[in-house]
Amino acid sequence: MINGYLGVDIGSISTKAVIIDEENKIIAQKYTWTEGNPIEAVKEVIRDLDDQIKDIDVRSVGTTGSARNLIGSMLEANVVKNEITAHAIGTLSIFKEARTIFEIGGQDSKIILIDNGIVVDYAMNTLCAAGTGSFLGSQARRLGLDVEEFGDLALKSNNPTKIAARCTVFAESDLVHKAQIGYKKEDIVAGLCMAVVNNYLNNVGKGKSIKPPIVFQGGVSKNVGVIRAFELATGEKIYVDENAHLMGALGVAILSKRCEQKHRFNFNIVDINFNTRGIECSKCANRCEIVCFYRNEKLIDAWGNRCEKGAKIS
């Protein structure tokens, strides 16, 4: 039996998980939609990973993403890390010379700047969905397209249409207008890809020293139209790994492997009942909203308190 290490990246749109071996090679993976229920999404990926592996002893668990603390408690994770650290570690395990990471996910985007293997700067955009995967998906549906064919259609364009994409509402009205006055669909799609890139560089990348090699990751990195738009905008080659959508999970799996304190992961976690309850603490004037997390109705964790009085909630 060989040792494996589990990493789970729980985002607002999708949940990703990988199991790696001692050489950081991905030996099992799963991608699914979070659909507003991270606990059930994680149960689904754990169940699927269990079906994939044989003779693998999972010795540690790491979690990252927006629900990392919740799922970290659920899985008794050895390591709980933020997305910046996890994505950087995952990327550097494949592209050791990377200097800049572009990451665009379902509802947010980020840029990470690296010098000699160390993160020296970063920025995130979480206030508006314009220029993210959900934005592209909604525009694809408006055009009667599957988002999977979006990129290939963009590559057929020789004259991308300018689309105002600094705001989702403005982009939709501009897109409808351009379609109504007769612009070709492939030109509109290519224009949307360019608009996503310009929005990203002018907001998330504003004032940042972008240096090659540049690695692009996140779900939108699967869109070849956006890749080409980034190359045109930066004048640099954009590197995309086949597992670009799994970099956060890969990175936190590597970090969990490095952790000295390890324990065997129990895949029977899928049969346990987990739930959360929100309460308002009345022990001081802050009246903090505390989230209590239960396993089979037994309190295992709580967070949200701003003072010690709310640290112990039953």
What is the domain-level CATH number for residue 233? 3.30.420.40
Residues 111, 269: contact at Cβ < 8 Å? no
Quick one: 261 and 286 in the same domain? no
Quick one: 278 and 214 in the same domain? no
Residues 63, 301: contact at Cβ < 8 Å? no
Residue 313 pLDDT class (50, 70, 90 cuts): low
Quick one: 101 and 236 in the same domain? yes
Quick one: 257 and 224 in the same domain? no
Quick one: 186 and 216 in the same domain? yes
Quick one: 42 and 171 in the same domain? no
Quick one: 104 and 232 in the same domain? yes
Of 294, 296, 295, the closest CA to residue 279 belongs to: 294
Distances from the Cα of 257 to the Cαs of 41, 53, 254, in angstroms? 23, 18, 5
pLDDT at site 150:
77
Quick one: 262 and 287 in the same domain? no
User: How many whole angstroms separate alpha carbon 257 and alpha carbon 249?
Assistant: 12
Tell me: cis bond preceding 213? Omega within 30 of 0 counts. yes
- pLDDT tens digits for 171-224? 677 777 777 787 788 888 888 888 888 888 988 898 999 999 999 998 888 889
What's the number of domains the chain is made of?
A: 3
> Can you give the residue range of the structural domain that contains 297?
274-310
Coil, strand or helix at 246: helix
Of 48, 47, 51, 77, the closest CA to residue 65 belongs to: 77
Quick one: 111 and 205 in the same domain? yes
- pLDDT tens digits for 232-286? 999 999 999 999 999 999 999 999 999 888 888 989 988 999 999 998 988 888 8
pLDDT at site 212:
97
- pLDDT tens digits for 116-143? 999 999 998 855 655 677 777 777 777 7
pLDDT at site 312:
60
14 pLDDT more than 70: yes
Quick one: 165 and 236 in the same domain? yes
Of 101, 35, 33, 89, the closest CA to residue 62 belongs to: 89
- pLDDT tens digits for 34-92? 988 999 999 999 999 999 998 889 999 999 998 999 999 999 999 999 999 999 999 99
Quick one: 81 and 125 in the same domain? no
Global pTM reads 0.87
Quick one: 65 and 47 in the same domain? yes
Tell me the pLDDT of the chain averaged across its residues: 88
User: How many whole angstroms separate alpha carbon 83 and alpha carbon 66?
Assistant: 8
pLDDT at site 168:
63
